[in-house]
Amino acid sequence: MEIFKNIAMVEWVFYFFSALAISGALGTILSRKPMHSVIAVIITFFALSGIYVLLNAQFLAVVNIIVYAGAIMVLFLFVIMFLNLRQESNELNNTSMVIAATVSGLLLVLMLVVVFRKAYIEPVNPVGFSNQTGMIERLGSLLYTHYMLPFELVSVLFLVAISGAILIGKREKGGRHF
């Protein structure tokens, strides 16, 4: 009887995090102020991290909070404050942009419907399920055994991107501009 109470509680916690994520996402796209949109995105990221914890993916939850809610959102806030976006843009009132955005959104929804109708979701076998699926040890052993080459290629790609960013950011006066 106790296990059914725990399952029902986990289900309600999932519904809470799902509602919080959806309301945060809607707040992001419906807010007129950029600062409110960024705060709504941060709320969405925290709700998604809660869902990751419920799915036994603690590593993804921590990385989501540190990388996305931490570093990237601080960068977004810095850019918004740096640009000082207080004046209204006339581009948002253009009807052709509204039509293009509506068509793009409808095409995205259509593509998602087609993909999800053809997707096959394998049912979970509770007997053969491992509770170590989302743990860091399991992820590390997979990255350094089966996926060693793609992991190293991504690290080289990051190194090249960081070197390029340093090169572009460190321009001298009178130097060539790319």
Domain boundary among 68, 85, 102: 85
**Within a 10 A sphere around the Cβ of 25, how many other Cβ atoms?**
16
Instruction: Spell out the per-residue pLDDT of the chain, length 178, in tens.
Output: 455 567 778 889 999 999 999 999 999 999 888 888 888 999 999 999 999 999 888 888 988 898 888 888 777 777 777 776 555 555 556 787 788 888 998 999 999 999 888 888 777 777 777 777 667 788 788 888 898 998 899 889 988 888 887 777 676 666 565 5
Is pTM beyond 0.75? Reply is: no
Q: Please check whether residues 79 and 140 belong to one and the same domain.
A: no
Domain total in the chain: 2
**CATH number of the domain where residue 61 is located:** 1.20.120.1200
Task: Identify the DSSP state of 146.
Answer: T
Residue 176, in any domain of the structure:
no
| Nearest alpha carbon to residue 78 among 35, 31, 25, 28 | 35
